[in-house]
Every structure is written in structure tokens, then in C-alpha cells.
Amino acid sequence: MTRFDTAFAKGPALVCFITAGDGDTAANLDALVEGGADVIELGMPFTDPMADGPAIQEANLRALGKGTKTADVLQIAADFRARHPEVPLVLMGYANPMVHRGAEWFAAEAAKAGVDGVICVDLAPEEDADLGPMLRAEGVSMIRLATPTTDARRLPAVLDHAGGFLYYVSVAGITGKQQAALDTIEEAVSRLKQSTDLPVAVGFGVRTPEQAEAIARVADGVVVGSALVEIVGKHGDKAAEPLRELTSALAKAVHNARKVAA
């Protein structure tokens, strides 16, 4: 059993994203876990986050402005792993910082830091050779994104070599914007699940416990990012407590979703 298997076996999982180097990241990560997050996505800051909306763009700039380096991100990951041996940890970011020193180097460092999976936003499956084989050789999953534009013809390419869980981007757009209608999410998730055994987590535009609960009824996981990142933006180094509060409300909603539905 991988950490992902364990996390998703318990029922719908709450996946929480924050950007490394933004605020007191270690304290914030602990707050997410204490609040009930089942999977952690740690954003690797990049100067040009072209798939992200304003909230995460600003988090990237804040982190880089403080001088956050790739080495710092890996150290934050390694420290997290030491404190939380069971919680799956995903690095999410853009291709250039991941491949710049060589994909072998990055894959080995990620594995050493206890990272379970990597999401590389701008690495299309067509360019998997740049990073995928190196990650898999180190036992790190390449987590793929499916989107509303991923049709039946395209899906096999996305699923080829996909690991960990499948991240369904519920809106064609950037992070933090409006949420898709629930019935289209349900339809998409059931379509995806016909083609893969991987758990399907749904993200983009999920901000409230109510939204999270509704999605958790139809999906294996719910990803929340911008709403958490905004809290860090607002509270700076004192974001842990408000993060714990929101995470706890989200976790309760996600974990109880199936019970309410039943």
C-alpha cells in the first residue's frame, strides 16, 4: 500500500494546497494536517505561473521575493515527511524548475525528501520523457491532470503512466476562479472512473465546505488551493490558526459527505 492508497481508502479525501516559502510554511502544513487534510500539495514557486489565477500568482511572488530556492522547497518537504510519516505529499509546479538541474537530480531529491507524487502543470503527456521516467525510477508518481477538454480520444494519453491519483480540473480556466456545475462534475468523474482505477480528485474553484461536501459525494477527493493560499496572503506568518479552522471545516464536510448522502 502506498500512502496514496491508504489516504484514499478511507473514503473521500481532502487534498490541500499551499505554496512553499509563502508565510511560515512548516507551521501552515502542520495546521493543514491537524485540521484534517488527507493529502498535501506543496506548490513549488515559479516566476511565470501561467495556469494560476491571482491568488496563487501572488503566493509565488511572495515566496520568491523572500528568496525561496528549490533547495528550500525540498527541505520543507523533507522536514514535513519527518514530522508526518503517513501523510501523502505532492510537489506541484511548473516544468522549468523541475528539469533545470536535470530531471534525474530532481527525481532523486524528491524521493529523498519523501515526496510521493509530482504534478507538473505544463508538462503534457507528450513530453513525459523529460521527467516521467526519472520520477518513476525513484518510485515517485507522476500525477496527471484531466480537464473538461480531455475527451475520450485524448484520455488514454493522459492516463498512460499516470500514478497516485487523477486530478480532475473541473473548469477550463485558471486556479481560483468559478466552480463548475455539480452535475457536470459528476458526469466527468464517472466517465474518468470508467477508464482508470486511480482515485479521482476534483479541484479548481472549490472554496467552501458546502462545495467540498457536494463534490465529495461524487468524487474520491476534493482539492482546495486558492482559498487556503488567500489566508496565507492575508495573515502572513500568523496564518496557521485560520488555516486550521478552514481545513477543519472542509475536512468535516468532505469526510461526512457520503454519510449525509446515505
Instruction: Name every residue whose Cβ is closer than 8 Å to that of residue 13 and which is 6 or more positions away in sequence.
Output: 7, 38, 39, 199, 201, 220, 221, 222, 254
Which of these ranges, 6-14, 20-28, 32-40, 166-174, lies near another protein under the rule CB under 8 A? Answer: 166-174
Cβ atoms of 231 and 246 closer than 8 Å: yes
Which of these ranges, 56-64, 80-88, 195-203, 216-224, lies near another protein under the rule CB under 8 A? Answer: 56-64
Question: Does residue 100 touch another protein according to CB under 8 A?
Answer: yes
Q: Which residue, 89, 92, 94, 93, is CA-closest to 112?
A: 89
Cβ atoms of 179 and 205 closer than 8 Å: yes
Question: Which DSSP letter does residue 179 get?
Answer: P
The Cα–Cα gap between 138 and 124 comes to 20
Question: Does residue 66 touch another protein according to CB under 8 A?
Answer: no
- Minimum separation from the CB atom of position 234 to another protein (A): 19
Nearer to another protein, 61 or 182 (CB): 61
Q: Which residue, 156, 164, 28, is CA-closest to 92?
A: 164
Query: Which residues, 105 to 164, sit near another protein by CB under 8 A?
Result: 121-130, 133, 144-151, 154, 157-158, 160-161
- Minimum separation from the CB atom of position 15 to another protein (A): 17
Candidate residues 47, 66, 181, 237; the one interacting with another protein per rule CB under 8 A: 47
Binding site for another protein (CB under 8 A): 46-54, 57, 61, 64, 69-70, 94-101, 121-130, 133, 144-151, 154, 157-158, 160-161, 169, 171-174, 177
